[in-house]
Structure 1
Amino acid sequence: MQDSTLPELHEAVAPVPWLRRWWRRQTPGRQDRYAMLAPLAAVLLFLAAIISAFWYLRLEEMDREQEAVRRDVEYAQQRLRLRLLERQEQLMRIARDISNKEIDPEEFVGRAETMVIQYPELQALAWIDDRRRIQAAYAGPSVPAQQQRRAGDVLRPGETETTFSLVRDLQQPVYSQPPLAGENAPLLQLHVPLAEHARFGGVILAEYSVDSLLRYGVPAEVSARYAVSLLDAKGRALAGQVLPGRGTASRLLAWAAPQANEYEVPVSPVGNGLVLKAQAYRTSLGVVGSGLFWLVGTLSAMTAWMLIGNWRHTRRRMQAQQALIAETNFRRAMENSMLTGMRALDMQGRITYVNPAFCQMTGWSEAELVGRTAPFPYWPEADRDQLMARLEDELNGRTTPGGFQVRVKRKDGTLFDARMYVSPLVDPKGHQTGWMTSMTDITEPNRIREQLSASYERFTTVLEALDASVSVAPLGSEELLFANKLYRLWFGLHTGGHLQMVAQAGVPDHPRTDESLDEVDSFVGLPTGQLTTAQSENAEIFVPELGKWLEVRSRYLNWVDGRLAQMVIATDITPRRHAEEQAAAQAERAQAASRLITMGEMASSVAHELNQPLTAINNYCNGLVSRIRSNQINQDDLLVALDKTARQAQRAGQIIQRIRSFVRRSEPNRSLSDVATMVAEAVELAEIELRRRNVRLSHYVAARLPKLMVDPILIEQVLVNLLKNAAESIEHARRPTAHRSVELRAVPRQIEGQHVVEFSVQDSGAGLAPEVMERLYEAFFSTKVEGMGIGLNLCRSIVESHQGRMQAENIYNGSEVAGCRFSFWIPVSGAISSAANKDAGVVA
């Protein structure tokens, strides 16, 4: 745009000579910018002036509205406080009459009823003495029955306790707000003290409805213009209407949009934390709602839009003028910022171009390199013959597609490794004018490659020296990705051993897609990232080909090529398994020996028990022989005597059979066993010993107890041992006959979140000393002179082998020990699941 195209602007600046001279000194481009920016600036200044005027008027209006709100709220506060003070004066007169003994509880109720009916904000009145007992009370019909106070009641602990104490200390009326409970309406309480002969005599408790106080205490003209509410000390609305706050967008436009003016003032000290708040309803449209504002804004926007359109057209013309300069500068900047060194040779091998990166890498400047021919100054002396041969190959077109690695000498004499790539240099006409060589410094990659190689060698050495077999195979393939020395020693270089261990351990070798729930991998459907972070699965298997027990651990991992693979680590645990089998055999022998020891200790009792049926049999037989010889017996008497003899023999046989089954050494045999049967058989064995020691035995088995998956002989062994120990403890304590008792109970319990059956044996002995309690289950520790110290230790081992727990505790009668209680429990869930598995095996 030239000066001749702006006649209006020329005429405007013509009267000022210095301004006209300044305008002519400007370039055409700047004249165009000024011609565009001057009208645009004028429009923007005009729009800013209009907005400022509207903003000033709006502020004046907001100030007037805020002043009106403040004046009306303070007026409403005075009315509200005056109403509260009037009620307070009336209650103080009643308090004086009560203190002067001028009214009784019945008259108080009458006067309270009159006040509640006359003043709707007053809900209830109560006369409370200094012991917090209600002497008389009256509540309005709107108060729920559960909230009404009645004469004779005592205030609950915590109810108005703090305010009651404050009134007693100050001897002045005190207002308080009880905490909200459920859906109860908020209240305001007034405590007026009573005085009896110059001492505290109680209070008159008046309860105001906050909602009614607001409704009848605030003038109607104020409620009509504002949303009035009462708030507590924490800002929560107790009564009234609260207008919703503005959102973020509304706050951003607060200068233009009308807002709800609000003002709040505390009702205290009368209200004790009550705050009266009023919010004015919107009555004006504000600046944004003004039609003049929108008219001025629209005209200004249209003017600015036209000026901006003209300016954009001029700017596109100037951009086209600067395109070539920008493109040239960009290409040069790109060449200068490259980290790869660039070198151009002509057809005779002379350097014609080097970029700054090449100069920086070699240390030679562009002036020192351009125009030079071989040998070049950055060639090491030791490699000149080799580099000269390569240069001859390049000039003759024999280039290596993947480039080649060379050593390059810097100007300071140091060497670095570089990789060079050579390509023909072709001009726009398609003719080759030389060769372009790119050079990259690979010293650091070479160093990292050497470190990785050394790290891999160390890693391989560690894995080869492990005493565990390690193998890695991809999922769904028979390729063996890695195998250490021990794996190769066991299975060779094939994946057969890897797959065999996975199959025997029950670990899936790949996530299957079969819809059969019985064959779906537990990891199926999981993303690869979750598979590789999942916990490893362990299993113990026996490999017949090796004759070894192996502990197999398996987990998923991402291989170096991105494939999902499975790693299996197998450890030889054959010695450990042999040790476990020997330990199990030793435990079995210890259990059998313990039963033999128990029966040996009970031998005299068993002999005495057998002596009774054998003596009866002898007597019956001698009597029969005598009567048969004297022909003094008939057939009926003979049959009766023989029947009694047979029963005594059967009894002796049962005792011997029970002892034989108890002491017989057999393999552990867990089966679903009835609790009542196990208890009955244990009682039958132990009752002999208890009768010999003159100890009374009582037992109780709860009804409908579930069957347990246990070895019944072992559980009976625990019960017999505990009953025998209980009898010995009673005898050692020398209890009188009336207090020589043992109780055996079997009841259901729920312990540690699982259903169990608890067996307990409680005696009336001397209990256990604290030092004995600490070492109770220690092997070879016993409090008996002839004891071996393996009984309780073996009992606990039997219980824990059935996933149970055993414990002992003293029974106290006051501070005196009255006996001891041994108990143990067996889980029911394990029994049920074991039975289910057993049934499933039978079905299979």
Structure 2
Amino acid sequence: MRTLLTPRTFRRFLVAAGALAVIAASGNWAERHELQTKTEGLRQAAAAHVLGLRGLVERHDFLPHAAARHPDVQDLLRAPRDAALRARVDDYFADLQATTGAAALFLVDRAGLTLAASNWNLPSSFVGQSYRQRPYFEDAVQGRRGLFYGLGLTTGQSGLFIAEPVRADGAILGVVVVKISLEPLQATWMHGADPVVLRDSRGIVFLSAVPEWLFHGIRPVSAAELRWVAAHRQYGNRDRFPVLPWTIESRSATPAFVLHTSVQGRRTNLLALDTPLPELGWTLTVTTDMKEVVQARQLALMLAALAVALLLLGVLYWRLREKRFIEQRTARIELERRVEERTRDLEEAHAFRKAMEDSLLVGMRARAPDGTIIYVNPALCAMVGYSADELLGRRPPYPYWHPDDLEKQARESADALQGRAAPHGFESRIRHKDGHDVITMVYAAPLVDAQGVHRGWMSSVVDITAQKQAEARQRDQEVRLQRSARLASVGEMASTLAHELNQPLMALSNFAVAARALAAQSAPPAMLAGALDEIVEQSKRASEIVKRVRAFINPQRAQYESLTIASVVTHAAALLTPELRRDGMALRLDLDDDGARVRGDRVLLEQVLVNLIHNAMHAMQGRPRGSIGLASRRVDQGVRVSVIDEGPGIPPEQLDQIFAPFFTTRPDGLGLGLNICRTIVEAHGGAMTVDNRAGGGAAFSFTLPTVP
């Protein structure tokens, strides 16, 4: 008896088969898509690792080439027993190694013996070691560039060796070798989430993020290859390289392959991608876990099943809803009309409120109690340079906070959020998005809704940058005016003094020269010629002072030189010797400055000392057998010169104005001497002070910076 399918049953069967087909197709698509995504990620990771490897090699590639052309390197190969030459080459290699970060640099003669190395002073020094059996030496000594990776024969540490022949006069004298350590790169790989492997042309893994894979092969190593590795001791004393426990499964849709293996005793499936490095003879393998691919397929299957179930439920719901559609249609139309009217009213109210807020020139910012920005107006966005989308939802620290005031602004923000903000506002410096600073005043107030519930805090932000800049310009202008007034008064007095003294002093010089010529013609006594010589010297000195005063007014004319303080003090004392004898005063020199040298104008510095000694003599008038002290001492990075008298000292109320222009205690004084002295000292980068001594008298001192 045959059973016939009814049309209704047949339709149900078709629906079920279609649903299963859709679910299966979804799973396959999700798996392919995740594989493609993972493969692209592996390509990018491989490109980054390859770029890092090539960059590491290229960064040190020039070293052997440059070192091979150094004259000392070539000379040492010609004279290997020259100890001084070897020491220079050792220091040169050590400096190159420290500067470039290479693991080591060393020089090998044609016999393979190391003559000099950057680690010459370490127990593991390469000096005296033979590297004749190394392939890089064999290539370089034959005139080719050598490149070889292996374990060090001396240190046992792995590295990439780059060798360059040292040529001179068409002959190869020896080989310069640089060693680059790849261990930091391997350490970085070990901290990564996915294993990375680097193997040589024989399939032997020499760098790996998985330690148990090191010095294993992806295939059996042939006997000839084992003999070559052992002969050159590429990997130390190892003579066996077991095959890795890898099972490879190819995927036709992608260049990547699935790697079934174990990591730290745990079975795992990895998606792997090989990238050859032909210039180095290596192959880089990057991997990622297949777990996400499996999860993507499972998730797609579940989502597809859920979607089919929801679709079927939707169809059932639609059929039920169709029955009620007619009776609800009228009610729905009425409801939509009312909703439309209410929406229109709300939009109009919202548009009016937004127009009011957008027209404000003051920045407005609303924050939730936790500091999240929930509203900003256009004025605030323009003030900080960030759009509303960039600010809404942000919590402290905000992007416009000034990087130099982060702690201060965090404290002010916390005070505002806790209701402790100053009612009169507080000043805050912020950083505009384009990089310039903006000075603002911030006023905070509670944000309360229509039901009286506290929803956060509203801040008003006012830009006061222009006001602050105007205040700064005004302060700067006042300082400039004060300085200009001071320089103008001193310059005017100095110019007048130069103009009035220049002509009579030059006339005195001319008369003295003429008198000296007449004395020579009429053979006067020797004393007359000496006196006339002194007149000529003093008149020239007066003229030189006039020139230096003018140079002081115009610094471009100044004549600065390196001189000793002792020479300036000694010459100034010699100039005043006649006056001191005439007034019965003694000048005590106490020079203890270790020959300190300063850079300055000798004549102007001598005038400072002459003026200070004159002031000391005037303070001691009426005291028989007075004594003036002139001392120099080393202080920090300078030298301090002091003129000490035994006079009555400076009244305390006059100490603050003793250097002021036109202030004087002498009836015939102008009050410019000490002011000009201080100006000369400051022009030399120094400072001048005055102090009353405990035993009586005053001490005028100035400090000048020393030069080598």
TM bin, normalised by shorter chain, reads 0.3 to 0.5
TM-score (norm 2): 0.33
TM-score (norm 1): 0.28
Answer 1 or 2: higher relative contact order, Cα 8 Å, separation at least 6.
2
Structure (1 or 2) with the larger CA radius of gyration: 1
